[in-house]
Amino acid sequence: MHNMAPTPAAFKCLGALTGRVRVPGDKSISHRSLMLSALAVGESTVEGLLEGEDVLATAAAMRAMGADIDRGEDGRWTIHGVGVGGLLQPASALDMGNSGTSTRLLMGLVASHPITVTFIGDASLSKRPMNRVIEPLSQMGAEFTSSPGGRLPLMLRGISPAVPIDYRLPVASAQVKSAVLLAGLNTPGITRVIEPVPTRDHSERMLRGFSAELSVEQDADGARIISIRGEAELKPQHIIVPGDPSSAAFPVVAALLVPGSDVTVENVGLNPTRAGLFEVLRLMGGDIELVDRREVGGEPVADLRVRGSTLKGIEVSPDIVPSMVDEFPILFVAAALAEGRTVTRGLEELRVKESDRIAVMAEGLRAIGARVEETEDGLIIDGTGGEKLAGGATIAAHLDHRIAMSFAVAGLVSRDPVTIDDMAPVATSFPIFADLMRALGAEIA
């Protein structure tokens, strides 16, 4: 995708943003809904699936291993599963494209089935080491032949019955946790994962939703002990995938910052391991009302009604970083228009995302007139108190979708339009972004 000519765009605001919109489905939940539906006996349906390249790679892989998966005209997906233990040997290698989530979770599923599967991926995915998943799955009895450094292409020889293990996560990783739990589905006895630092818990919630026997306890040190009973029988489900909170962040912040706005973002997932941004915006004085709170597939969901607000700068506690690590670029834009100073710390991980998000945001915000000081592990921002930024610059987004969307929102609160050098990468997470912002009243040239 990134070898195409760049598609620049200039964003500016014509006045208050208004309307009701829906953001694309949550990626983490989309992957898991396809995998678990494919292991349930009977027909499951999924609505609101994120139809990006990564999730389609998961659909293709489950199809290759025997599940019947169809997308209806109305965008509703129907899955006839093979049952736990029923995965078939695929006829050829499974191509994971660029999806690390698909690869690591599917390795877990395959590990406790008596089949041999080869995983391949694109150049970027083939650089990413899989050792942290290979390690626990090997303890369960699966055998691996990987490229040097535990990389793809990789061949996995699954085993049945596999051996249940108690595995303490050496590094906080929802993907490793999920891989072990998914392997435990077809393993006799009880498989346990001990998680010293909590990570997103979509797998636990959805496994329970599909009727797996799963329990979560805390040990004396506060670590979570997640136990799953194997040889599970999963019951088919009807799943409505909640809107991705990381995507909802952009229209929400735009509505807070543009005076007089009144925007409702429908069906947003509010899993506490993911929704830290909305909490921080509320602490800053943002008017975000949760309408029609409900639970869908074990996940908390609500419609967010957001009105133009005067934000106040705050010190953001490092404790909340894990639940909003992807949302700091757009928070920095909100801070640039708040009254007073916003201080963020503990963001070292942002330097190794799709780009160095601390440096890139600092540079871009300065270029459009914000007052920003960069520290080792965060930014200190002195806001304008609601005055528009100068704008007028062209921002290099460094092929990073979240940087591109953050500066698009900044353009809506700048005197002169803000131009993003390339909006193409936005298609990875939020293909309808430009149309959605236009529908609310933004102008994009």
Which residue in 180, 33, 211, 16 sits closest to 111, CA to CA? 180
Q: Classify strands 418-420 and 41-47 as parallel, antiparallel or unpaired.
A: unpaired
Asked if residues 440 and 251 have their Cβ atoms less than 8 Å apart, the reply is yes
Q: Helix crossing, 27-39 with 53-64: angle to 10°?
A: 10
Could you report how far apart the first and last alpha carbons of the chain are, in Å? 22
Q: Write the CA distances from 162 to 141, 158, 187, 323, integer angstroms.
A: 6, 8, 5, 34
| Element (DSSP H or E) covering residue 290 | strand 287-296
Other CB atoms within 10 Å distance of the CB of residue 264: 19
User: Which one-letter DSSP state was computed for residue 230?
Assistant: S
* Largest distance between two CA atoms of the chain: 65
Partnered with residue 68 across adjacent β-strands are: 80
Residues written for the chain: 445
Distance CA 39, CA 210 (A): 10
Asked if residues 248 and 267 have their Cβ atoms less than 8 Å apart, the reply is no
Q: The tokens of 308 are what?
A: 């133009």
Q: Write the CA distances from 156 to 62, 87, 343, integer angstroms.
A: 16, 14, 46
Asked if residues 39 and 185 have their Cβ atoms less than 8 Å apart, the reply is yes
**Lookup result for tokens 């489950």:** 62
Which stretches within 201-269 are classed as H helix? Answer: 202-209, 245-257
Q: Of 201, 326, 400, 422, which one is the catalytic site residue?
A: 326
Check if 287 is active-site: no
Q: The tokens of 387 are what?
A: 């005055």
User: Which one-letter DSSP state was computed for residue 5?
Assistant: P
- Report residue 395: phi and psi, to 5°: -105, 135
Distance CA 188, CA 239 (A): 28
Q: Is the dihedral of CA 387, 392, 393, 394 positive or negative?
A: positive
Provide the annotated active-site residues.
Answer: 326
